Structure 1
Amino acid sequence: MKKTFSLFVALFMLVAVSYAQKGVLKFTKETHDFGKVEQGKPVTHVFEFKNTGTDPVVINDAQASCGCTKPSFSREPIMPGKTGSISATYNAAAAGPFNKSVTVTSNAEAGQAVLYLKGEVVSAAAAAETAAAPAATTPAAKDKKKSTKTSR
């Protein structure tokens, strides 16, 4: 009976220890869409996270999927309940759609997290058109357009 009870307590302790929570990185969002980006102009996004676990989290590394993306992060431990960030800069050199990833390695419970950057690199002329297009949809522009149609 004593052996059975001791075995039960030992098994219970093993299960309890295996479920003990470590540091947990909870990102506000794991994907950022830049939309249309002007060719030749690097763009940066800061991914924010919170340590929702019970132990400090230390980020060991952040690796981009290619040389066109450069991540940066603080090497200081993120204490439980505190926030941190990982910055990722994409060099918008080549025209066309892009989908890049940054793999974050830490001592957090999951071990790794993958963050994504996406968008479309367009020429400077196309970016200028895109920037000018919203101006045509302002309320004043709509009113002017309506008055032009009704005055005919």
Structure 2
Amino acid sequence: MKTVIALLFIGAISLTAKAQEFKFENETINYGKIAVGSDGKRVFEFTNVGDQPLIISSVRSSCGCTIPKKPKDPIMPGKKGEIEVSYNTKRIGGFTKNITIFSNAKKQERKVITIKGYVAKEIVPEKEKSMMSSEASK
């Protein structure tokens, strides 16, 4: 009898645990090495894998140099949504910034995603690098 009650309890928990949830394609976006002033906009895509509408109440970044943009409308079950992030690429050097998402997801009301990369003063295209190295070997 105790086993039957325990199994019913576990089954009830697993049915309700899926209410509103989201799954990201990637939780980290690596910009790689980019040039100063280049386009700092990237998009995180996610899917509402729950059975209720997912509402993102706010999105905050760990720094003023990163501006996130949340979806305006609820994301319906099975549908995709996007979090747009813009990084200020006028700051030279490496960066790792966290973006915290606040939502009505049952398992994870707060979700952290990350952007990282390196802003270089100047990037030499691969074609020019090969030309420069062949001239240097002469």
Q: Distance between the aligned counterparts of 2:127 and 2:112, measured in 1?
A: 33
Aligned to 1:133: 126
Alignment map for 1:103-118 (pairs within 5 Å):
103-109=100-106, 110-118=108-116
Number of aligned positions between the proteins: 129
The question of 1:67 aligning with 2:64 is answered yes
Please give the per-residue CA displacement for 1:46-104, whole angstroms capped at 9, x wherever unaligned: 00000111111000110001000000021211111111000000001221110011111
TM-score normalised over the length of structure 1: 0.73
Of residues 87, 90, 103, the one that matches 2:87 is 90
- Identify which range, 88-97 or 62-71, moves more after superposition: 88-97
The question of 1:48 aligning with 2:45 is answered yes
**Partner AA of 1:62 in structure 2:** V
Runs of at least 5 residues in structure 1 that lack an aligned partner in the other structure: none
Aligned to 2:55: 58
Q: 1:76/1:13 Cα in 2 relative to 1: closer, same or farther (>3 Å)?
A: farther
Q: 1:54/1:134 Cα in 2 relative to 1: closer, same or farther (>3 Å)?
A: farther
The root-mean-square deviation of aligned C-alpha atoms, in Å, is 2.4
Runs of at least 5 residues in structure 2 that lack an aligned partner in the other structure: none
Q: Distance between the aligned counterparts of 1:92 and 1:136, measured in 2?
A: 23
Of residues 29, 53, 58, the one that matches 2:26 is 29
Whichever of the two has the greater Rg, that structure is 1
Of residues 120, 124, 149, the one that matches 2:118 is 120
Q: Distance between the aligned counterparts of 1:133 and 1:12, measured in 2?
A: 61
More helix by share: 1
Q: Distance between the aligned counterparts of 1:62 and 1:115, measured in 2?
A: 10
Deviation of 1:115 after TM superposition, in Å, equals 1.0
